[in-house]
Structure 1
């Protein structure tokens, strides 16, 4: 089974991996901008997300293998690879396991370390969406607001809504599996894995995902890494400050 993707432009292959509960559509605007710089941009949906296939198996080694199969199916090598959050962990794992396929790696607001589970309330809110009763996006937002107070986070989550059939909404994510395997999202990259090529870690200045204590850990596994801070942004740095994010990425890959 091959991952779904939206491919934009022509040129050097540039793969972008979304985060947990996200999808390739989250990166469409930046993807177009990167394509205008001479890249063929592949906006990929990881398994159990977006329009890609559902499967009960879910961990970073499997997600990396999915990406290897995707590259083989599309005859891609020497790729630029960018991943955000969960996608960043997949990108790190993939680059360490298949370094011959990657020319440059970019990791957005995630470290190789372990992160404790912290999505429980969001998953409870998504589980509370009863589509036998809910018939509109507004009704879904009202139910979700009882669990998730932040409007921007709810809008991000509600991008997963789609019409299964006329009058019947559903979620594109495989919620049951993601709930069951949520602990896998925070798993650390095995400490023996290394990637020796150029890496750019981007962190939001208001985010706590990459702290000072992470810097040595990053360099231990990615000795040619640089860490750049994106101002006026949190964990969703690419959405909160897309201009500076774009500039930092192009400076690195150009």
Structure 2
């Protein structure tokens, strides 16, 4: 009798676990996040690195670097990315944006001292933002499952592919030999620190207020990315005006 009772209890527990696993898989499919366990693991590693190294470094940088210098860094990095914008504008059939981008790149690279000063904006030349993930979306490619990339953070199959393709028109990768030089990695690191410093307020809000930072970050990134694909404008993910998730 006792053995039968234990067997019955084990069967009930096994059935409960099976139902829970099925429900979890169904929920993951509904949220477009079928790899959630792996994504959460990468998210946790990214947060640990951010808490220990990246975040503190960005805050020190923000404290010791004057605002005009930071503006120059943003301008320089934006100008360096203009060949990527130009290539994707052409691929999207937006000849007008491609022309503006060429004009901005020439003007800011020369008069603006390698892009440190945004002369083109002062002269009324509009700035466009394009990447290959957006290009794929324009071509009708779906976003695919949600992904969390090591060090980079939220993405999906389409945009992860886009990040890889966008490497090729970027000036830092024009020469295979020079792309691995210390100065090239230094520029990439500077861009990362500046970007992290710019996002410090949003990330702090996420960590302080979100019941589940993973879900909140996923939702905020998707909203921001969707807006960019539709309008061609980037914005910081908003972690403050989203519903709380348990």
Higher strand fraction (1 or 2):
1
TM-score band, normalised by shorter chain: under 0.3
Q: Which structure has the greater CA radius of gyration?
A: 2
TM-score when normalising by structure 1: 0.22
